[in-house]
């Protein structure tokens, strides 16, 4: 056996990786060139759609020891291509319409490289310089998109160390946590001989204020990040009170009022109410104006989780869907969703730019009081300069470009919904408000049985249809040509029994109606393959 050539261990070689760029004919440089020239070609050549089980992939990544010996970059690049790229999710494929992670514009790949080369740290000015004012400006842009304050408002506050219009973070989860952190600290702020929750902690705070607990209210369609927030903020998952939704998956304001009353009789303080602007499962939007009025009356912080739907504000044709968002004390928007920025960037924006004083932190060596360091009011410490990509996209795509993207995605969802409605063997489960919709397949003969079934039978039959929906979704994913996701709903139409649904997110601008037609055809075909289930359905009735 010829011994494998291995890289020498020498400081000189290690220093070279800091000083020498990849040669143009190296494996890595060639990979990079191909991906920059034609991403789809590269992916279709290198991402293998055939299924490799998760178990098999785990075997590829089973060694827990850090490699002793340095490896040649070319050899490792090939390994990455074979073991990792080959089995990555093809998120940019126009027929993968099941997730919120879409294709990206090409220019962002080049900019990302520059961003990484610059390696700025936004925690403090010393390591970010121009990036700090840049981030403050972009926060100003998003703030203005939501709250439409006048020119003077922004010129006075955007770069003022006493204020922050919002915060950048790694995603919607951290944005939601930050918003509720601010809300909690303001609800339990210093007063009399109490020096504030941030100093004395939750236990002493609720003792001082005489509460028996704290609560945040949100609809049952809430994103699970809010449960994490409730846990971290010390109110517990049970402190996140879930409110019923109506037939359009929107919060039921009467149930909300009733729950608030019940909490108050138990001396539980509801300190925040959350409206969802684009639920993760169905894309529906809560009645924000109505929620704002309830918050005002109940003296609650009003947070809007617009992680998904916030970008709709870019379209003058559709921003009215989010009417009332301008009344929110805080708003979460994910840039890595409908603003088409790579994962991980989210933002939280605050109506009153001094509200974050309740979470202001200072360290002696950095983040001095009065400094403009962004790290004084962010949950995260070191953060990347990814704001550069948001800034560039705002310029290169522009509001009008985003408007086109938003409009086409909503239009496409409407077309797909009417296409589903035209199929007698598919059932639309949620009418799209944004570019999300849910539906399922029900074979004709089952529909007939359903129409004559008793209540008990309806439950049994739907349980079988749920199995079928799961089967179709899994099989379609495994075939690998297309991907829709699935979720569980409790539609009013089906008397709130649990219904498994296909979930489609039409954010990828390259997805066409023909692709969607093919997805339905494939699903219908797969349904016939479920022999076991088909037999069970026959035997039941």
Point out which residues bind ligand PLP (CB under 6 A): 100, 171-173, 176, 223, 225, 276, 280, 305, 307-308, 334, 346
Give min distance, CB of 237 to ligand PLP, in A: 16
What is the number of the residue whose Cβ is closest to ligand PLP? 172
Give min distance, CB of 32 to ligand PLP, in A: 27
CA distance linking residue 254 with residue 263, whole number of Å: 14
- Using the minimum distance from each CB to ligand PLP, give the nearer residue, 176 or 312: 176
- Using the minimum distance from each CB to ligand PLP, give the nearer residue, 96 or 208: 96
- Using the minimum distance from each CB to ligand PLP, give the nearer residue, 197 or 349: 349
Q: Are 63 and 28 in contact (CB under 8 A)?
A: no
CA distance linking residue 293 with residue 285, whole number of Å: 16
Give min distance, CB of 402 to ligand PLP, in A: 18
User: CA separation (Å) from 229 to 100, 335, 347, 459?
Assistant: 21, 20, 16, 35
CA angle in degrees (0–180, nearest 5) for 196-198-203 = 75
- Using the minimum distance from each CB to ligand PLP, give the nearer residue, 280 or 523: 280
- Using the minimum distance from each CB to ligand PLP, give the nearer residue, 334 or 373: 334
Give min distance, CB of 339 to ligand PLP, in A: 12
CA angle in degrees (0–180, nearest 5) for 386-132-180 = 75
CA distance linking residue 210 with residue 195, whole number of Å: 15
CA distance linking residue 541 with residue 538, whole number of Å: 6
- Using the minimum distance from each CB to ligand PLP, give the nearer residue, 205 or 501: 501
Give min distance, CB of 99 to ligand PLP, in A: 10
- Using the minimum distance from each CB to ligand PLP, give the nearer residue, 174 or 468: 174
CA distance linking residue 176 with residue 332, whole number of Å: 6
- Using the minimum distance from each CB to ligand PLP, give the nearer residue, 100 or 327: 100
Give min distance, CB of 337 to ligand PLP, in A: 6
What's the chain's Rg over C-alpha atoms? 26
Give min distance, CB of 172 to ligand PLP, in A: 2
Q: Are 221 and 281 in contact (CB under 8 A)?
A: yes
Give min distance, CB of 307 to ligand PLP, in A: 4
Q: Are 148 and 328 in contact (CB under 8 A)?
A: no
The DSSP secondary structure of 84-128, one letter per residue, reads IGGGS--TT-TTB-SSS-----THHHHHHHHHHHH---TTSGGGT
- Using the minimum distance from each CB to ligand PLP, give the nearer residue, 92 or 357: 92
Residues in the chain: 541
Residues 515, 517, 519, 523, Cα dihedral to 10°: -170
Residues 191, 195, 196, 200, Cα dihedral to 10°: -140
Given strand 240-243, what is the order of strands in its sheet?
A: 166-169, 346-350, 330-334, 301-305, 268-276, 213-219, 240-243
- Using the minimum distance from each CB to ligand PLP, give the nearer residue, 73 or 242: 242
CA distance linking residue 325 with residue 319, whole number of Å: 10
219 pairs with which residues across the strands? 243
Give min distance, CB of 171 to ligand PLP, in A: 3
Give min distance, CB of 251 to ligand PLP, in A: 13
């Amino acid at each position: 056996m010829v011994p494998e050539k291995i890289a020498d261990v020498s400081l000189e070689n290690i220093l070279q990786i800091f000083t020498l760029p990849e040669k143009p004919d190296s494996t890595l440089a060639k990979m990079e060139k191909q991906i920059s020239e034609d991403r789809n070609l590269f992916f279709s050549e290198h991402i293998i759609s055939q299924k490799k089980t998760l178990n098999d992939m785990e075997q590829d990544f089973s060694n827990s020891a850090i490699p002793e010996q340095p490896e040649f970059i070319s050899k490792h690049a090939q390994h990455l291509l074979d073991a990792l790229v080959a089995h990555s999710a093809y998120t940019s494929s126009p027929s993968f319409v099941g997730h919120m992670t879409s294709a990206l514009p090409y220019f962002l790949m080049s900019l990302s490289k520059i961003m990484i080369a610059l390696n700025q740290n936004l925690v403090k000015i010393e390591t970010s310089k121009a990036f700090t004012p840049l981030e403050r400006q972009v926060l100003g842009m998003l703030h203005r998109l939501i709250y439409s304050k006048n020119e003077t408002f922004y010129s006075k506050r955007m770069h003022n160390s006493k204020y922050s219009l919002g915060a950048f973070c790694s995603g919607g989860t951290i944005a939601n946590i930050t918003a509720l952190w601010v809300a909690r600290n303001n609800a339990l702020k210093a007063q009399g001989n109490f020096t504030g929750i941030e100093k004395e902690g939750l236990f002493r705070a609720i003792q001082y204020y005489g509460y028996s607990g704290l609560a945040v209210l949100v609809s049952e369609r809430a994103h699970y990040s809010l449960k994490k927030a409730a846990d971290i903020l010390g109110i517990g998952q049970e402190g996140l009170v879930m409110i019923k939704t109506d037939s359009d998956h929107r919060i039921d304001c009467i149930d909300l009022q009733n729950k608030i009353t019940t909490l108050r009789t138990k001396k539980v303080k509801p300190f925040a109410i959350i409206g969802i602007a684009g639920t993760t499962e169905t894309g529906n939007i809560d009645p924000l104006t109505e929620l704002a009025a309830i918050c005002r009356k109940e003296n609650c912080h009003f947070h809007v989780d617009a992680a998904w739907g916030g970008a709709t504000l870019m379209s003058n044709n559709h921003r009215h869907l989010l009417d009332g968002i301008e009344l929110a004390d805080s708003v979460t928007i994910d840039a890595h969703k409908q603003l088409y920025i790579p994962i991980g960037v989210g933002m939280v924006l605050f109506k009153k730019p001094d509200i974050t004083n309740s979470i202001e932190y200072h360290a002696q060596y950095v983040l001095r009081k009065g400094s403009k360091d962004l790290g004084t009011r962010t949950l995260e410490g070191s953060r990347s300069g990814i704001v550069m990509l948001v800034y560039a996209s705002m310029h290169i795509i522009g509001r009008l470009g985003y408007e086109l993207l938003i409009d086409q995605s909503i239009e496409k969802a409407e077309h797909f919904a009417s296409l589903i409605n035209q199929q007698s063997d598919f059932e639309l489960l949620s009418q799209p408000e944004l570019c999300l919709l849910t539906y399922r397949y029900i074979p004709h003969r089952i529909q007939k049985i359903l129409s004559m079934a008793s209540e008990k039978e309806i439950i049994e039959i739907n349980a079988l249809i749920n199995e079928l929906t799961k089967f179709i979704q899994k099989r379609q994913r495994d075939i690998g040509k297309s991907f829709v996701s699935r979720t569980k709903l409790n539609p009013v139409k089906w008397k709130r029994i649990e219904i498994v649904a296909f979930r489609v997110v039409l954010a990828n601008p390259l997805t066409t109606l023909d692709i969607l037609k093919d997805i339905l055809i494939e699903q219908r075909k797969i349904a016939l393959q479920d022999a076991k289930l088909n037999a069970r359905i026959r035997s039941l009735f």
